[in-house]
Homo-oligomer: A and B are copies of this chain.
Amino acid sequence: MSERTTTADAADVEQVRVLAEAARTASRRLALLSRAEKDAALLALADALDAATDEVVEANARDLARGREHGMPESLQDRLRLDAARVAAVASAVRDIAALPDPVGEVVRGSTLANGLQIRQVRVPMGVVGMIYEARPNVTVDAAALGLKSGNAVLLRGGSAAADTNRALVGVLRRALEAHGLPADAVGLLEGGHGAVHALMTARGLVDLLIPRGGADLIEAVVTGSTVPVIETGVGNCHVYVDARADLDKALAIAVNAKTHRPSVCNAAESLLVHRDVADAFLPKALAALSAEGVALHTDAASGTRADAAGVRHDTATDEHFATEFHGLEMSVGVVDDLDAALAHIRRFGSGHTEAIVTEDRAAARRFTAEVDAAAVMVNASTRFTDGGEFGFGAEIGISTQKLHARGPMALPELTTTKWVVEGDGQVRV
């Protein structure tokens, strides 16, 4: 991505203006829908997706063929692929969203003032939410469905690799909305190159919120190049710290799970830190287990000695390794002198996503949870639990690693803002 240096030409700006104004008009209608109306529309969208399975799979086949021509790696092809079963899963996810509670209208707080004014802070939709994302085409439907449920219109800009698939999906959704008596412009698709993306990023006043989902470069480009408010998502350089008083069986299970359960995602662990008092007891076993799972190990001097003792292959960890989110079966490993050293290491290299301590020591757990500055802090649990589904939100639009508005898994309430409603009987300031 090079949005930072690309500028939008007049046609890009015009495309975004037209799309965003249509979305704004649609959003005013969506904001007033009852939960029942929104849920009925979502079920209609799910049925329409099921009915359009062949059309979607064919469009997807064109994207896949183009990808293969351009040498797309098999792992990316797999992310891009939509077969009939996956289309059914996407439709089913829309039905799940219909079953979730409606965040709109929730009274967050309220009171009656001394002068008799009744004030209440009520959840309302954001308005127009933009999403910029990469290959996985299920995001197109998820974002549209979460947007509709939270009363927002969405402007979608998926990766060019999924262009045909996204066009087909958005076409199905728009036709189904219209057939259901709702504005098709509740779901808009932004076409075009980097100039169009730049125009979206700078459409301040037209777009209320922009959520980038994808690799670190995409997110960095959107965060630094946007004048529209952005929620930064997803970069996770997560650590598992095994304390002096850890239960080493739990520590082994957690380290292996955090690294290997699904290594490509942001809540997978990238670094293992071990207190020196348990390095001899823990590391040979842990490194052997990780290696047996296919994890390439980058070790500091003290952990390298233990790897050698256990006969485990490894190479020397650099600062670069400790700073890297591997997105795969690699892990950096270090031995620390104490909890303070672990905290300092995490401060230096962590990305503020998820950090875990394994310990039976209450004081150490309390210090770790108080002092680590991250969206989620785990005690005796795998980093993989930082997830909207696991937390019971029923859906997830991304994991925020920034501090403004939302931090950690974002679901329906995070797609809303609030409005103060003040009701009186003629009160004036005195």
Contact surface of A with B, Cβ cutoff 8 Å: 28, 31-32, 111, 113, 117, 119, 121, 124, 126-127, 204, 208-209, 223-224, 227, 229, 231, 247, 249-250, 253-254, 256-258, 261-262, 365, 369-371, 373-382, 384-386, 390-392, 402-405, 407-408, 417-429
The CA of A403 and the CA of B385, in the complex, are separated in Å by 29
Which residues of B lie under 8 Å from residue A423 when comparing CB positions? 365, 378-381
The 9 A-B pairs with the shortest beta carbon distances in the complex, nearest first, are A381-B424, A250-B426, A257-B428, A403-B417, A405-B405, A384-B429, A376-B420, A229-B404, A404-B405
Oligomeric state, in copies: 2
Which residues of B lie under 8 Å from residue A258 when comparing CB positions? 428
Which residues of B lie under 8 Å from residue A405 when comparing CB positions? 404-405
The CA of A262 and the CA of B429, in the complex, are separated in Å by 10
Contact A429 B32, beta carbon cutoff 8 Å? no
Residue from the list B224, B256, B374, B419 in contact with A374, Cβ < 8 A: B419
Q: Please list 23 pairs of residues, one from A and one from B, whose beta carbons are closer than 8 Å in the complex, sorted by A's number.
A: A31-B370, A113-B391, A119-B391, A208-B404, A209-B403, A209-B404, A247-B426, A253-B428, A365-B423, A369-B421, A375-B419, A376-B419, A378-B422, A379-B422, A380-B425, A381-B423, A382-B427, A382-B429, A384-B428, A385-B424, A390-B429, A404-B417, A407-B418
The chain B residue with its CB closest to the CB of A417 is B403
The CA of A370 and the CA of B422, in the complex, are separated in Å by 12
> Given A113-B391, A380-B426, 10 other A-B contacts at CB below 8 A?
A32-B370, A204-B224, A261-B428, A377-B420, A378-B423, A379-B421, A381-B426, A385-B424, A386-B422, A407-B417
Contact A377 B117, beta carbon cutoff 8 Å? no
Q: How far is the CB of A108 from chain B (nearest CB, A)?
A: 11
* Chief secondary structure at chain A's binding surface: mixed
Contact A402 B224, beta carbon cutoff 8 Å? no
Which residues of B lie under 8 Å from residue A376 when comparing CB positions? 419-422
Which residues of B lie under 8 Å from residue A262 when comparing CB positions? 429
Assuming the A-B contacts A28-B371, A420-B376, are A403 and B208 also in contact, with contact meaning beta carbons closer than 8 angstroms in the complex? Answer: yes
Assuming the A-B contacts A113-B392, A392-B113, are A229 and B403 also in contact, with contact meaning beta carbons closer than 8 angstroms in the complex? Answer: yes
Assuming the A-B contacts A420-B408, A422-B378, are A254 and B224 also in contact, with contact meaning beta carbons closer than 8 angstroms in the complex? Answer: no
Contact B247 A381, beta carbon cutoff 8 Å? no
The chain B residue with its CB closest to the CB of A204 is B224
Which residues of B lie under 8 Å from residue A119 when comparing CB positions? 391
Contact A127 B403, beta carbon cutoff 8 Å? yes
Q: How far is the CB of A147 from chain B (nearest CB, A)?
A: 14
Which residues of B lie under 8 Å from residue A227 when comparing CB positions? 223-224
Q: How far is the CB of A126 from chain B (nearest CB, A)?
A: 5
Q: How far is the CB of A374 from chain B (nearest CB, A)?
A: 7
The CA of A428 and the CA of B392, in the complex, are separated in Å by 16
Which residues of B lie under 8 Å from residue A402 when comparing CB positions? 229
Q: How far is the CB of A388 from chain B (nearest CB, A)?
A: 11
The chain B residue with its CB closest to the CB of A413 is B109
**Residue of A111, A126, A376, A419 with highest tally of chain B CB at under 10 A:** A419
Contact B380 A429, beta carbon cutoff 8 Å? no
Which residues of B lie under 8 Å from residue A127 when comparing CB positions? 373, 403
The chain B residue with its CB closest to the CB of A372 is B419
Which residues of B lie under 8 Å from residue A223 when comparing CB positions? 204, 227
Q: How far is the CB of A348 from chain B (nearest CB, A)?
A: 12
**Residue of A119, A249, A250, A256 with highest tally of chain B CB at under 10 A:** A119
**Residue of A111, A113, A256 with highest tally of chain B CB at under 10 A:** A113
Which residues of B lie under 8 Å from residue A124 when comparing CB positions? 373
The CA of A429 and the CA of B262, in the complex, are separated in Å by 10
The CA of A224 and the CA of B203, in the complex, are separated in Å by 11
Q: How far is the CB of A285 from chain B (nearest CB, A)?
A: 16
The CA of A278 and the CA of B425, in the complex, are separated in Å by 19
Contact A427 B381, beta carbon cutoff 8 Å? yes
Which residues of B lie under 8 Å from residue A204 when comparing CB positions? 223-224
The CA of A385 and the CA of B227, in the complex, are separated in Å by 30
The chain B residue with its CB closest to the CB of A126 is B403
The CA of A253 and the CA of B428, in the complex, are separated in Å by 7
